Amino acid sequence: MKGENDTERIGRHFVHDAVYQRLRQWIIEGRLTAGTHLRDQELAQEFGVSRTPVRESLLRLEAEGLVVTQANRWTQVAPLDLNSVMRRYPIIWTLERFAITTVATDDWTVEDITRLNAHNRLLNDAIQKRDAVAAARADEAFHLGLIEKAQNPELAAVLTELKTPLTRVEIAYFQEMWSSRESIDEHAVILASLRGDAVEAAAAVERNWQRSLARIQEIVSRGGPGGGVPV
């Protein structure tokens, strides 16, 4: 039921979401590194908002595992948990493989392939420029393009949530994750199969994620967080 305060409530909602999205982006992209203390009053002053949207945003980020708190003492950016990330990989490649198998090869248009190729070129450019954030965004866009073709928003939402910690890892460990540029070739294999062999395309997606997992396992074998690589 409409009332006098409808506009104010909508405005408030956008403020809360804007604060949440900005903090989330800063954490994922490494602008706020693991262990950084997050003080609601300081953040409220920086954003020019009250402390309420900041506090609510921190609660949302804690639920996502991006923030940790100790009651009445501190709130800080969560450490990177590579073991947790590795446990997500089989779930991700299973769901993404499923998404691919729900799309008939005839449904992949030239425009679809062109769009996915463009994301892969952006990934290549970002790697050459050593732009970790741009590389992660391009890779995310490529895989999102695959998932969205399945027209299953619930599946897309689950995968997006599962991949959030992975994106942090890809950015924090840019050298280890992207220097070989293997993902670009792996994506090319996926693209070559989409319009001709759905089974091979699904298998190529799984291999892409498996090799990404292998790169993280290599990081862990060298000591992981605290073992000479950034956290």
Q: Give yes or no: residues 133 and 190 share one domain.
A: yes
Structure-token pair, residue 162? 């599962």
Distance CA 103, CA 146 (A): 10
In this structure, is residue 143 part of a structural domain?
yes
pLDDT tops 60 at residue 103: yes
In this structure, is residue 230 part of a structural domain?
no
101-108 mean pLDDT: 93
In this structure, is residue 212 part of a structural domain?
yes
Q: Give yes or no: residues 135 and 67 share one domain.
A: no
Q: Give yes or no: residues 65 and 98 share one domain.
A: no
Cβ(113)–Cβ(201) below 8 Å: no
Please say which residue of 50, 77, 104 terminates a domain.
77
Structure-token pair, residue 129? 């420029």
Phi, psi (degrees; rounded to nearest 5) at 172: -65, -35
pLDDT score, position 42: 92
Distance CA 198, CA 97 (A): 10
Q: Give yes or no: residues 94 and 147 share one domain.
A: yes
Please say which residue of 35, 54, 77 terminates a domain.
77
pLDDT score, position 6: 37
pLDDT cut 70: percent of the chain above it: 91
pLDDT score, position 219: 84
Count of CB atoms within 10 A of residue 175's CB? 13
Structure-token pair, residue 164? 């959030």
Q: Give yes or no: residues 34 and 122 share one domain.
A: no
Q: What is the pLDDT of residues 116-156, one digit of tens each?
A: 999 999 999 999 999 999 999 999 999 999 999 999 999 99
pLDDT score, position 17: 87
Instruction: Identify the weakest region by mean pLDDT among 55-59, 156-160, 176-180, 209-213.
Output: 176-180
In this structure, is residue 177 part of a structural domain?
yes
Q: Give yes or no: residues 148 and 52 share one domain.
A: no
Distance CA 16, CA 12 (A): 6
pLDDT tops 60 at residue 15: yes
Distance CA 7, CA 14 (A): 11
When pLDDT is cut at 50, 70 and 90, the band that residue 5 belongs to is very low
pLDDT score, position 13: 60
Q: Residue 131 sits in which domain range?
A: 82-221
Q: What CATH number is given to the structural domain containing 40?
A: 1.10.10.10
Residue 75 CB-half CA count within 13 A: 20
Structural domain total, the chain? 2
Q: What CATH number is given to the structural domain containing 121?
A: 1.20.120.530
Q: Give yes or no: residues 24 and 97 share one domain.
A: no
Reduced to 3 states, what is the DSSP secondary structure of residue 229? strand
Please say which residue of 28, 46, 77 terminates a domain.
77
Q: Give yes or no: residues 96 and 60 share one domain.
A: no
In this structure, is residue 97 part of a structural domain?
yes
In this structure, is residue 165 part of a structural domain?
yes
